[in-house]
Amino acid sequence: MTISENVPLTNYSTMHLGGSAAYLCEVTTRMEILEALTWAQQRTLPVIMIGTGSNIIWRDEGFAGLVIVNKILRFELFKEDETNTYLTIGAGEPWDSVVARSVQAGLSGIEALSLIPGTAGATPIQNVGAYGQDISQTLVTVEAFDTQVGDFVTLPASDCGFGYRTSRFKTTDRGRFYISGLSLHLSALSPTPPFYPAVSEYLSQHGINAPSSATVREAVVAIRSAKLPDPSVVNNTGSFFANPVISGGQLAQLQADHDTLIPHWSNDDGSVKLAAAWLIEQAGFKDYHDAETGMGTWPAQPLVLVNEHANSTASLLAFKQKIVTAVQAKFNLTLEQEPELLPLK
Ligand code: EPU
| 3-state SS, residue 178 | strand
Strand partners, 166: 163
Confidence tier at 341 by pLDDT (50, 70, 90): very high
What share of the chain has pLDDT > 90, as a percent?
98
Per-residue pLDDT reduced to its tens digit, 287-329: 999 999 999 999 999 999 999 999 999 999 999 999 999 999 9
The catalytic residue positions are 165, 239, 338
State in Å: Cα 130 to ligand 1 middle: 9
Which residue's alpha carbon is nearest to atom 37 within ligand 1? 130
Q: Which atom of ligand 1 is nearest to the CA of 128?
A: 41
Which residue's alpha carbon is nearest to atom 30 within ligand 1? 130
State in Å: Cα 344 to ligand 1 middle: 26
Is the shortest distance between the CB of 335 and ligand 1 below 6 Å?
A: no
Q: Which atom of ligand 1 is nearest to the CA of 117?
A: 42
Of 99, 136, 225, 278, the residue with max ligand 1 atoms within 8 A of its CB, to mutate for a pocket test, comes to: 278
**Total residues belonging to the chain:** 345
| 3-state SS, residue 94 | strand
| 3-state SS, residue 221 | helix
Q: Which of 90, 46, 72, 64 is nearest to 9 (CA)?
A: 64
Average pLDDT, the chain: 97
Q: Which atom of ligand 1 is nearest to the CA of 241?
A: 32
Which residue's alpha carbon is nearest to atom 6 within ligand 1? 277
20-27/177-187 β-pairing: unpaired
Helix axis angle, 197-205 to 213-227, nearest 10° = 110
State in Å: Cα 225 to ligand 1 middle: 13
The mean per-residue pLDDT over the stretch 262-269 comes to 94
CATH architecture of the domain covering 3-70? 2-Layer Sandwich (3.30)
Q: Given this model, what pLDDT does residue 75 score? A: 98
The answer to whether domain 75-227 and domain 236-342 are alike in fold is no
State in Å: Cα 300 to ligand 1 middle: 10
**What is the CATH number assigned to the segment(s) 75-227?**
3.30.465.10
The mean per-residue pLDDT over the stretch 221-231 comes to 97
Q: Given this model, what pLDDT does residue 71 score? A: 98
Q: Given this model, what pLDDT does residue 22 score? A: 98
Q: Which atom of ligand 1 is nearest to the CA of 338?
A: 32
Q: Given this model, what pLDDT does residue 127 score? A: 97
Give whole-number Cα distances, 168 to 125, 164, 176, 177, in Å.
Answer: 8, 12, 10, 10
State in Å: Cα 176 to ligand 1 middle: 30
Is the shortest distance between the CB of 301 and ligand 1 below 6 Å?
A: yes
* Residue-range domain boundaries for the chain: 3-70, 75-227, 236-342
Is the shortest distance between the CB of 184 and ligand 1 below 6 Å?
A: no
The mean per-residue pLDDT over the stretch 183-189 comes to 98
| 3-state SS, residue 243 | coil
Q: Which atom of ligand 1 is nearest to the CA of 131?
A: 38
Which residue's alpha carbon is nearest to atom 9 within ligand 1? 278
- Rounded Cα distance, 68 and 337, in Å: 24
245-247/133-134 β-pairing: unpaired
- Rounded Cα distance, 114 and 103, in Å: 10
Is the shortest distance between the CB of 242 and ligand 1 below 6 Å?
A: yes
Per-residue pLDDT reduced to its tens digit, 138-153: 999 999 999 999 999 9
Of 303, 323, 327, 340, the residue with max ligand 1 atoms within 8 A of its CB, to mutate for a pocket test, comes to: 303
Which residue's alpha carbon is nearest to atom 2 within ligand 1? 278
- Rounded Cα distance, 238 and 340, in Å: 12
The mean per-residue pLDDT over the stretch 52-71 comes to 98
Q: Is-contact 127 163, C-beta < 8 A?
A: yes
DSSP state of 108: B
Q: Given this model, what pLDDT does residue 139 score? A: 98
**What is the CATH number assigned to the segment(s) 236-342?**
3.90.78.10
